[in-house]
């Protein structure tokens, strides 16, 4: 029987507790499950990994491939509404689930985020209203396209159209020869070439949009990436020029509205050296840069994900503390000579305002996201000082 929204916390539907499902068992799914359980919902996770972080804390766990039809039917039977924790879940699986259950975000929105070509086209179509466009780019799908690339796009960054994340599937190219060689190394798949621009900062905006079209926005996050992976997020008043903050939030709302989006959406931007803004990419889910909201806001990005999925009211979230988040990669579990070690948790937790979140991953690997460490406080300067102390203790580069 189709689900009727809203799904009220702690309610019974046909004699069963209201239950929310999530495709994907990583750390984002784990934090979604915690937020759903705090409101009294039961949860179900579907993931192929028997040791998935979210699966280990959920009421129910279905270990299966995301395309497994029997598993999808079981998920739909157990749940009253379903979401996803990562953008590379098969869009067709979301579409199949949506035949009988409320699913957010919609399969079509996820499909656009999975394809840089479609994503760039969407950003370009929204630029007229928001004033924020993507970087100049060209689509490369065959050898003929290589020869037609405008010279102004070089030097540039070549990105695969699909399945690129955390800096993977990307290459910097200075000229046409490097472009051709990089495209061949990527297997000659569909790509996007973006003009390299003079960057001052990177930032992101997270919004939540309900089925009624109501949109609420979290503060703009200033982000630092290293080797294509988020390293540091800083969120406090004055972290970015006010004009950039307003443009980024306005552009994100426009992108969500144009998609008729339902759920939590993160849009990443570049702030150029001249102060102008360029839209980079979007994630149809909560985002690494929004983890600070668990400790620094009265409603986290995961609370908002639960509310949009269940059809609950969206109160505008408020940040009550300045925050800086450090992303904890598996590299920190190894010494300089490659020997396994335990990070100095005792010293880190002695720092005022420290909030440690580990994701329950049993094996540390270099580049793997193992957790995050957020510092909060009433004063941005003091928060920054403590975050820098923590970085030094961890052996992380200062910022």
User: What pLDDT, on a 0 to 100 scale, did the predictor assign at position 215?
Assistant: 98
Q: Is residue 351 part of a domain?
A: yes
User: What pLDDT, on a 0 to 100 scale, did the predictor assign at position 310?
Assistant: 98
Confidence of residue 352 (pLDDT cuts 50, 70, 90): very high
Q: Is residue 122 part of a domain?
A: no
Of 169, 195, 221, the position where a domain reaches its end is 195
Same domain (yes/no): 231, 330: yes
164 pLDDT exceeds 90? Answer: no
Whether residue 104 contacts residue 263, with contact meaning beta carbons closer than 8 Å, is answered with yes
Of 51, 79, 103, the position where a domain reaches its end is 103
SS3 for 217?
Answer: strand
Confidence of residue 192 (pLDDT cuts 50, 70, 90): very high
Torsion of CA 79, 82, 88, 91, to 10 degrees: 100
Taking the C-alpha atoms of residue 129 and residue 132, their distance in angstroms, rounded to an integer, is 8
Same domain (yes/no): 239, 359: yes
Same domain (yes/no): 155, 218: no
197 pLDDT exceeds 80? Answer: yes
User: What pLDDT, on a 0 to 100 scale, did the predictor assign at position 22?
Assistant: 98
CA torsion through residues 378, 379, 382, 385, sign: positive
Share of the chain above pLDDT 70, in %: 98
User: What pLDDT, on a 0 to 100 scale, did the predictor assign at position 25?
Assistant: 98
Provide the CATH number for the domain around residue 26: 3.40.50.20
Same domain (yes/no): 280, 316: yes
Show the tokens assigned to 38. 């705090």
Segment 247-271, tens digit of pLDDT: 999 999 999 999 999 999 999 999 9
Confidence of residue 130 (pLDDT cuts 50, 70, 90): confident
Structural Rg of the chain based on CA atoms = 21
Same domain (yes/no): 210, 179: no
Taking the C-alpha atoms of residue 139 and residue 318, their distance in angstroms, rounded to an integer, is 40
Confidence of residue 112 (pLDDT cuts 50, 70, 90): very high
Same domain (yes/no): 80, 217: no
The total number of residues shown for the chain amounts to 399
Residues annotated within the binding site are 116, 159, 164-170, 194-197, 202, 225, 280-281
Q: Is residue 347 part of a domain?
A: yes
β-sheet bridge partners, residue 300: none
Show the tokens assigned to 230. 């988020």
Q: Is residue 124 part of a domain?
A: no
Taking the C-alpha atoms of residue 325 and residue 375, their distance in angstroms, rounded to an integer, is 6
168 pLDDT exceeds 80? Answer: no
Same domain (yes/no): 217, 141: no
User: What pLDDT, on a 0 to 100 scale, did the predictor assign at position 292?
Assistant: 98
Cis peptide before 6 (omega within 30 of 0): yes
Same domain (yes/no): 218, 174: no
Q: Which residues contact 255 (CB under 8 A, 6 or more apart)?
A: 122, 123, 126, 130, 261, 265, 267, 279, 282
Confidence of residue 3 (pLDDT cuts 50, 70, 90): confident
Q: Which residues contact 335 (CB under 8 A, 6 or more apart)?
A: 341
Cα distance between the two ends of the chain: 53
Same domain (yes/no): 185, 76: no
User: What pLDDT, on a 0 to 100 scale, did the predictor assign at position 163?
Assistant: 79
Residues annotated within the binding site for ATP are 116, 159, 164-170, 194-197, 202, 225, 280-281
Q: Is residue 2 part of a domain?
A: no
User: What pLDDT, on a 0 to 100 scale, did the predictor assign at position 166?
Assistant: 63
Task: State the residue range of the domain holding 63.
Answer: 12-103
User: What pLDDT, on a 0 to 100 scale, did the predictor assign at position 165?
Assistant: 66
Show the tokens assigned to 144. 């003929």
User: What pLDDT, on a 0 to 100 scale, did the predictor assign at position 1?
Assistant: 58
167 pLDDT exceeds 90? Answer: no
Show the tokens assigned to 127. 């630029």
Domain count, the chain: 3
Average pLDDT over residues 312-316: 96
């Amino acid at each position: 029987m189709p689900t009727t929204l809203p799904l009220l916390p702690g309610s019974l539907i046909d004699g069963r507790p209201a239950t929310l499902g999530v495709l994907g068992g990583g750390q984002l799914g784990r934090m979604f499950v915690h937020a759903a359980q705090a409101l009294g919902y039961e949860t179900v996770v579907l993931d192929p990994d028997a040791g998935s972080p979210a699966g280990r804390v959920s009421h129910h766990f279905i270990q299966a491939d995301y395309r497994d039809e029997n598993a999808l039917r079981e998920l739909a039977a157990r749940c009253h509404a379903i979401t996803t924790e990562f953008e590379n879940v098969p869009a067709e699986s979301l579409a199949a689930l949506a035949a009988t259950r409320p699913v957010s975000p919609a399969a079509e929105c996820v499909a656009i985020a999975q394809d840089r070509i479609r994503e760039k086209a969407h950003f370009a179509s929204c630029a007229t209203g928001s004033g924020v466009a993507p970087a100049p780019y060209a689509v490369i799908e065959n050898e003929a396209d290589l020869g037609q690339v405008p010279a102004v796009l070089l030097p540039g960054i070549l990105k695969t159209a699909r399945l690129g994340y955390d800096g993977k599937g990307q290459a910097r190219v200075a000229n046409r020869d490097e472009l051709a060689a990089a495209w061949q190394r990527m297997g000659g798949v569909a790509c996007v070439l973006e003009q390299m621009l003079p960057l001052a900062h990177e930032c992101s905006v997270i919004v939540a949009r309900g089925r009624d079209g109501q949109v609420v926005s979290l503060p703009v996050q200033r982000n630092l990436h290293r080797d294509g992976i988020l390293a540091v997020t800083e969120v406090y008043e004055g972290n970015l020029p006010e004009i950039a903050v307003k443009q980024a939030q306005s552009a994100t709302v426009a992108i969500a509205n144009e998609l008729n989006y339902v759920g939590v959406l993160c849009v990443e931007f570049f702030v150029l050296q001249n102060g102008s803004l360029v839209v980079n990419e979007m994630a149809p889910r909560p985002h690494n840069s929004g983890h600070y909201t668990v400790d620094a806001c009265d409603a986290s990005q995961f609370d908002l994900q639960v509310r949009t999925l269940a059809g609950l009211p969206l109160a505008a979230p408020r940040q009550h503390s300045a925050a800086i988040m450090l992303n904890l990669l598996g590299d920190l579990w190894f010494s300089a000579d490659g020997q396994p070690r335990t990070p100095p948790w005792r010293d880190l937790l002695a720092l005022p305002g420290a909030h440690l979140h580990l994701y329950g991953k049993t094996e540390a690997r270099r580049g793997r996201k193992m957790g995050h460490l957020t510092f909060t406080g009433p004063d941005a300067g003091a928060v920054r000082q403590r975050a820098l102390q923590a970085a030094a203790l961890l052996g992380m580069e200062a910022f």
